[in-house]
Amino acid sequence: MKPALAFLMASSLAFAQRINPPALKAETTDQKIQRNEKLLAANRKDLAAESELTAAYLQKIRENGDGSYLDRASALVDRMLTQDAGNYEAMRFRNEIDLQKHDFKAVEDRALDLLRFEPSDAGAWGNLGDASMDLGKYEAAGKAYEKMFAIRPNLASYNRIAWFRFVTGDAAGAIAFMREAVEAGASAPENTAWCIAELGDMYLKTGKLDQAMEAYESALALFPNLHRALAGKGRVEAARGNTLAAIANYEQAQAIVPMVEYAGALEDLYTAAGLPAKAKQQRDTIDVIDRLGAAKGESTNRNLALILADHRRNMARALDLVQAEKVSRPDVYTWDALSWVLFQSGRIEEAKAASAKAMKFNTPEPKFHEHAAIIAAARPQSRANTDIAVMASAVAE
């Protein structure tokens, strides 16, 4: 095993400068978009520009969370498939889009079809593994990632093996593989920075706060607008009891991508800091995100469900969200969310059954273990008490 670069650098900036130096001088995602949009405007039959632009749009949504880039990518893929229904590359792009849309069954089916034609396509094996992970088919996911890794041992395959190892309970193995992903690097700085931040998450979840902070700072030195690294720093500061510093980091993350998780964290941090007006603003933001999602027809959101359950508000909505998620995404994360929503709704026995499924692999997620311990110690309520609890939640809303 090669030594992790994070431990060889005197500073985060030095770390960033030594990871994949060509990537630091490469064309930015915005520049790729502008160049290829101009090429397509001049020649709508430029297939190379069409493909590169689709890839750039998909990269851009990773960077800023703007869903309009997913719509643009989808429109280009539709056009590519209209011109040629058997366009293999377009179908691979469609898988990437459907993963973003959480249509995991469609990705699984399409990946299997693609692999019948091209079994040596590492990317298709990766798509199959990704879909299998979210569908809770972990044995299939592991086999798919092994195939991907055997064909192309690079950042993309290293980080997937790492994630599989983590979810299935091997934290040490996950960290080792994620270090390899970081060292392998990628042409897009955001991709490498994402892996460094993921490494930071693994450190944080296993109690290694100093290593986690170092990783997050290194990720930001490489890609300054990586919102997940800023949120990671916020989580470290919160764990250290530095509430104001945690708030500052989460505010920066939220300014880049207004994710519901960031609003939930800020609501709690503002409350802890004695800033009720600011906490209410974040609660209002959460409600707006929920309404916007509902208006778009979104019926699943386990992260929102967890936030609602933590505060025991709008529990009927929380249960609807997580039960719908269980249908399309029955992985251990959804089972954990369902267990907590059921528990907070007073449905103790159902919560215990869901918690057992969440803890299937003893995944080193601190919240899993916290929820499982609370649920295991709970005694079933009477039906009358359960009804009273639900009614009280409704009144509070």
> Could you give the C-alpha distances from 166 to 192, 203, 361, 363, in angstroms and in order?
19, 11, 9, 7
257-271 pLDDT, tens digit per residue, is 999 999 999 999 999
Side-chain-side CA neighbours of residue 29 (13 Å)? 17
Position 31 pLDDT exceeds 90: yes
Q: Residue 121's pLDDT is what? A: 97
Rounded to a whole number of angstroms, the distance between the first and last alpha carbons of the chain is 53
Prediction pTM value:
0.88
Residue pair 256/230 in contact by the 8 Å Cβ criterion: yes
104-124 pLDDT, tens digit per residue, is 999 999 999 999 999 999 999
Domain locations along the chain:
25-101, 299-397
pLDDT band at 386 (very low <50, low <70, confident <90, very high): very low
Q: Residue 25's pLDDT is what? A: 54
- The packing angle between helices 29-42 and 47-64, to 10°, is 150
Give the integer Cα–Cα distance in Å for 76 and 29: 17
Q: Residue 133's pLDDT is what? A: 98
pLDDT band at 385 (very low <50, low <70, confident <90, very high): very low
| Domain 299-397 top-level CATH class | mainly alpha
